[in-house]
A and B are shown apart, each in its own frame.
Chain A
Amino acid sequence: KQEVTQIPAALSVPEGENLVLNCSFTDSAIYNLQWFRQDPGKGLTSLLLIQSSQREQTSGRLNASLDKSSGRSTLYIAASQPGDSATYLCAVVNTGGFKTIFGAGTRLFVKA
């Protein structure tokens, strides 16, 4: 059974710092991996989607990497801003299925 773990559960950093959020999964047979952002009381917004054949995706200050063999993905946020404060969720879809498995998320707070 696929399990997705995100470390740390919470993170507080000063504005301007570069940071890395971690996601690990137990079954390497994934179809894709997606990073989402969730603001308090809101729905989820997709940030980056990495196909199983890809190693990384970039969007602005965000870079997500994928290492299937080790069951890990990282989300790198450059030059963090207070507006980046939110919960970041990692989710995987296993090969051959339509079921998405989510991690519990990392709550990020960027201090001005």
Chain B
Amino acid sequence: NAGVTQTPKFQVLKTGQSMTLQCAQDMNHEYMSWYRQDPGMGLRLIHYSVGAGITDQGEVPNGYNVSRSTTEDFPLRLLSAAPSQTSVYFCASSPWTGDQETQYFGPGTRLLVL
């Protein structure tokens, strides 16, 4: 299993540009989520999904959109990038059933917005 994969690894955007961060998992996990990590801070939840077609907002959803058309993929869209969105973005997945709630993280995408 490849686990949780994220692309790209690094991206530079100009203010106002749009882009999609890709996340995929091959473990058939129902739960997937997106976090951002800023220096000196823990991870903050952006959006999450408990299954295909079901998404909900986390702590910091403004400026980000998500969709979940398949179990495997959970892309994160920035419609109009702002410098405040400069961060490291992590995707995670979990079975979230019974006692199997461990979250598995991807390697991250470093985003710089100029």
Contacts and interface: CB of A to CB of B under 8 A. Distances in A.
Interface of A: 4, 6, 31-32, 34, 36, 42-46, 49, 51, 89, 91, 93, 98-105
A98 B31 contact: yes
Contacts, number: 57
A4 B33 CA distance: 19
B47 to A, nearest CB: 10
Given A43-B108, A98-B56, A49 B101 contact: yes
**Range, interface on chain B:** 20 to 34
B66 to A, nearest CB: 14
A107 B21 CA distance: 28
B74 interface: no
B43 A102 contact: yes
Contacts of A101: 45, 59
Interface string B10-53: 00000000000000000000010101000011111100101000
Contacts of A104: 40-42
Contacts of B103: 34, 44, 46, 100
Interface of B: 4, 31, 33, 35, 40-45, 48, 50, 56, 58-59, 90, 92, 96, 99, 101-108
The interface centre, meaning the residue of B31, B40, B45 with most chain A CB atoms within 10 A of its CB, is B45
Contacts of B45: 99-101
A4 B102 contact: no
A51 B99 contact: yes
Contact of B59 (A6, A51, A98, A99): A99
